[in-house]
A and B are shown apart, each in its own frame.
Chain A
Amino acid sequence: MKIASAASTDPNPHRAATKAHGMLVEKLGGPPQLMLVHSSCAYDNEALVGQLRTLAPGVPLQGGTSCLGVITESGFQSRDGLGVGILGVLDPEGGYGVGIAESEDDPQSAARSALDQALAEADRPGELPGVVVTTSYPGHEEFTIGAIEDYLGANVPIIGGTSADNDMSGQWQQFGNDSVRRQAISVATLFPSGEIGYSFHSGYEPTRHRGRATRAEGRILYEIDGRPAARVYNEWTEGLIAELLPEGGNLVPTTAFTPLGNPVGQVGDIPYFRLSYPVEVLAGEALLLYTDVRKGCDLVLMTGTHDSLATRAGRVAAAAVDAAPFRVDEIRGALVLFCAGCMLAIRDRMEEVVKNLRPALGHAPFLTAFTLGEQGCFIGGENRHGNLMIAVLVFGPLRVE
């Protein structure tokens, strides 16, 4: 198994695709068996993906849009909001396939359809993949995860991200082989010949502010402890969003350092949280989150810092390696899904993020996409969708310990 990354910030989608693909093939020494592609929505991605498919016909292609650009081991690949990155996997002994399906009103059926396509392309129908990589669009990630688990079983690791645009205007796109969609679920089923490791961390810590969702529906949190959610949140954050009350407005990236946490598990005595990013104040002082929120669930105000966001990616990557059955110097490559909100909050410190990721990943090739939600597998084995998270998937050799 050999993995390489390549990127381009050429404004022309054809040239960007051609440059990135050329670089990738050169690094790999041959055409890959899988391409994970993330590009900014400022590109004409149909042209970009089309060019890649022309250059690499038949090679499974999966991915979506990434906020402003991508990161590779070479650095932050973004220029004027443009940047495309490819993580190529050369693994003739493995099996790889991609599927994509419009979600419409039935995300579960879409997920199953996408999985069937992917398994068929991998020539492994009915077989449990080593990992499923997903790209979805904001709004139905939990359904997607549930659908995948229903289909494959609860213990298949799912690593993915919610496709993002550059300005939260809804320009996100999902890629699946020849298709570029706006409301689709794209999945890649991976049967690597080697081993994998993964990690999914928030990196935020809980504060003393806690409450319960007393009224919620989908991603709208109306009330906390019987009071308007935005008002309670504003109190917990000591007036962070006071200017937007009561009319409402966009909270990105204002709330990036103070998300809401929902305890989803406990390791020993230590709870771990799925984060919910408050992205908008709605009428009636409700909060729009980028995750579903259920009535009755516990909520905790989480807090993070610029420094913690800048160093967190490296620590999550290190945790993924710790969990993997191979050493850091054996890593072949990695996929990192990094919260776009966090990226925007520490945009000027992206090189610091790269600097932390490189040694944590053994200086192996990697691709980081900036997403509006992250899907990953927690320590306890639970697949979850969260905000302001970092999901890391590392590839390594087969080993018997």
Chain B
Amino acid sequence: MDTSEELREALLNLEDARKREAHQRRMAEALLAGLRVLVLTEDVGELFGKLFDVMREPLEFEAAFVLTANGEGTLRPVASSVPLFADTVWRPRAMLERVIGGQPVAVFDTQLVEEWSSQPPPVRQAVRSALHFSIHTAERKALFVCTHSHRAHFSRDHVLLARRFSMLATQALQKLESEAKLADLQERLDTEAKLATLNRKLVESEKKLARARKMEAVGLLAGGVAHDLNNILSGIVSYPELLLMEEDLPPAYREAIETIRESGLRAAAVVEDLLTVARGAASSREILNLNRIVRQSLISPEYQSLMLSYPTATVRCDLDSDLLNIRASEVHVGKALINLVANAAEAVCDRTEGAIVISTENRYVDRPLRGYDEVRVGEFAVLRVSDNGRGISDQDLERIFEPFYARKAMGRSGTGLGLTVVWNTMQDHDGYVDVTTDDHGTTFALYFPVTREAAADGSVKIPLEDYRGAGQTVLVVDDLEDQRKLASVMLRRLGYTPDAVASGEEAVEYVSKRPVDLVLLDMIMDPGINGRQTYERMIEIRPGQKAVIASGFSQTDDVKAAQKMGAGRYLKKPYTLEKLGQAVREELAK
């Protein structure tokens, strides 16, 4: 190739490229301006008005309008730069169908095109050439029509610009729609997720509610039974005490009576467990060390009996010698431990080497542990009972603490309240239960909040003289005759002057006629007013009336209300002579 010719062509091509670049830049600027309007303008009427303004120069039109489908197979203007087109109706034929299909179309002579030749004369006269292109989205189809009064006004450049604008605008609008849809979808998903969470929580709440109701039902039943049992047990516990006070009681009888008394006390403890299950109420608590409870439990008759039933099971202890104390009911925690050991023994009963490990440790939880139960932040003394049994299925795991579920689902022996006692015990002790299980075994971990207080070294027998009365009058108020009789005998034995009435109303009438030094007031009486109401009326008559509250139930709101009004100690049935004496003496001393 000739060098000068090559140079000349290169220069021409360069100039051509520069020219095209300038043209492309103008087109790009026009497109951007149009797209900016499309994207930033929300109001449709305003949008097209702005589009007319920004596209007028690059597309070189005199007038423009926008057509949309009206659902009857025709198109009508939704916006127009001039009133001329406002009332026009367009029936798509081949040309407009192509535009709707996405192809921009320049018409060099509107008189040759059916869609235009069918328009009213003013339109036909005003418009000789036109440019049509679409702006499509999935949901909207709009046709942009540019017009000019000169024939063959629109060129290939206009078509190219229209095509690019059409495609970019369509993409932009579809993107916006997609984003909007995505946002909607995300919102819906979020809402659904929230609903799912709420539903899950609702289901959980319903489960808890069902469990609570079940427990409540059991509680009502157990509470009623326990109340009656306690009253019955009162005789078994209290009369032996009175008999044992006889100095000339034959030794053989003394031993038998002591056995009766101990049995009665154990029975009362069982009833108290039942009440714990029933009411979720805390029993009397004292400062204890879990290690001591473990050791005591391992020498208890219940444990011995249990191990005889499961001869292949071995129990190993791994106790933390520095374990912190807890404030707990020894009976309940011991019961819970025995229940867990029984549970573990049954889990390993089909193993040739069933291993049960009881361990304790101090544990500081610095962030919530999301296990079976959520363990909150704090210091805990943890009691664990692990076994190498077959594990618990997910389905069973969900319900094992429900009353009577474990026995039905897992074939456990016992009352069916074993794990329920564990759960309620932990609830009463403001503690938590965690359960981990797999094919290699199960571990129950009980988290007890620790206390820095020192544990008592054991009970000290208080001499009778320290709580004997001096003939003060005591009115026994109880709806049950045997309770009235028992209390009266004990009070008399303690050196008081008892009298008794069978209802709250009688008690109020009694004190209205004559003063008494102290009232031993049963809280639940049926029929008639309860203990709180009785005390309330009494103090209207005898302000400052001293009273000791006695009840087979745990400390209730009524008890607390009565205490707030001035009533004294709460004495839980069945009470011993010593506890009754202490309570009466203490109250009278106030």
Selected contact of A308 from candidates B5, B112, B163, B168, CB within 8 Å: B5
Assess the B4–A205 pair: CB atoms within 8 A.
yes
**Contact residue among A152, A204, A319, A322 (Cβ-Cβ distance under 8 Å from B152):** A152
Quick check: is B106 within 8 A (CB to CB) of the other chain? yes
Query: Is A311 interfacial (CB 8 A cutoff)?
Result: yes
Contact in complex: B164, A307 (CB < 8 Å)? no
- CB <8 Å contact, B152 and A126: no
B20 neighbours in A (Cβ, 8 Å): 323
| Interface segment out of the listed B8-16, B227-235, B325-333, B443-451 | B8-16
- A379–B95 contact, CB under 8 A? no
Q: Judging by beta carbons under 8 Å apart, are A153 and B152 in contact?
A: yes
Contact at B15–A157, with CB atoms within 8 Å? no
In the complex, the answer to whether A311 meets B156 with C-beta atoms within 8 Å is: no
B94 close to A (CB within 8 Å):
yes
Docked pose: A305 CA to B244 CA in angstroms? 143
- Listed residue (A123, A157, A201, A203) with the most chain B CB atoms within 10 angstroms of its CB: A203
Interface set, chain B 118-160, CB cutoff 8 A to A: 129, 152-157, 159-160
Q: How far is the CB of A197 from chain B (nearest CB, A)?
A: 11
- Which residues from 76 to 111 on chain B have a C-beta closer than 8 Å to any C-beta of chain A? 94-95, 103, 105-111
Q: Is the CB of A400 within 8 A of B168?
A: yes
Task: Tell me the chain B residues, 365-392 only, with Cβ under 8 Å from chain A.
Answer: none
**Interface size class, chain A:** 35 or more
A180-211 at interface with B (beta carbon < 8 Å): 193, 201, 203-205
Band of interface residues on B: 35 or more
Q: Given A127-B105, A128-B107, does the pair A307, B1 have CB atoms closer than 8 Å?
A: yes
Complex contacts, B16 vs chain A, CB 8 Å: 267, 319, 322-323, 379
With A153-B152, A156-B155 known to touch, is A305 a contact of B2 (CB < 8 Å)? Answer: yes
Interface string of A117-142 (1 = CB under 8 A from B): 00100011111101000000000000
Cα A9 to Cα B20 with chains together (Å): 41
Interface digits, B195-223 against A, CB 8 Å rule (1 contact, 0 not)? 00000000000000000000000000000
A315 within 8 A of B: yes
Q: Which residues of A have CB within 8 Å of B129?
A: 153
Query: Does chain A have a CB within 8 A of B113?
Result: yes
Do the beta carbons of A311 and B159 come within 8 Å of each other? no
B20–chain A nearest beta-carbon distance, Å = 7
Q: What residue of chain B has the Cβ atom nearest to residue A380's Cβ?
A: B19
**A123 and chain B: residue at smallest CB distance:** B94
List the B side residues contacting A228 at CB < 8 Å.
none
With both beta carbons as reference points, the residue of chain A lying nearest to B20 in the complex is identified as: A323
Residue of B5, B19, B112, B164 near A126 (CB, 8 A) is B112
A151 at the interface (CB under 8 A from B): yes
20 interchain pairs, CB-CB under 8 A? A119-B112, A125-B112, A125-B113, A128-B152, A153-B108, A153-B129, A153-B152, A156-B155, A205-B2, A270-B15, A304-B2, A307-B2, A308-B2, A311-B1, A315-B9, A319-B9, A323-B16, A379-B12, A398-B163, A400-B163
A contacts, CB < 8 Å to B: 119, 123-128, 130, 151-157, 193, 201, 203-205, 267-268, 270, 272, 304-305, 307-308, 311, 315, 319, 322-323, 325, 379, 398, 400-401
Contacts A128-B154, A267-B15 supplied; 16 other A-B pairs, CB < 8 Å:
A126-B95, A126-B110, A126-B111, A126-B112, A127-B108, A128-B106, A154-B155, A267-B19, A270-B8, A272-B12, A307-B1, A308-B5, A322-B17, A379-B15, A400-B164, A400-B168
* Residues of chain B whose beta carbon lies under 8 Å from any beta carbon of chain A: 1-2, 4-5, 8-9, 11-13, 15-20, 24, 94-95, 103, 105-113, 116, 129, 152-157, 159-160, 163-164, 167-168, 171
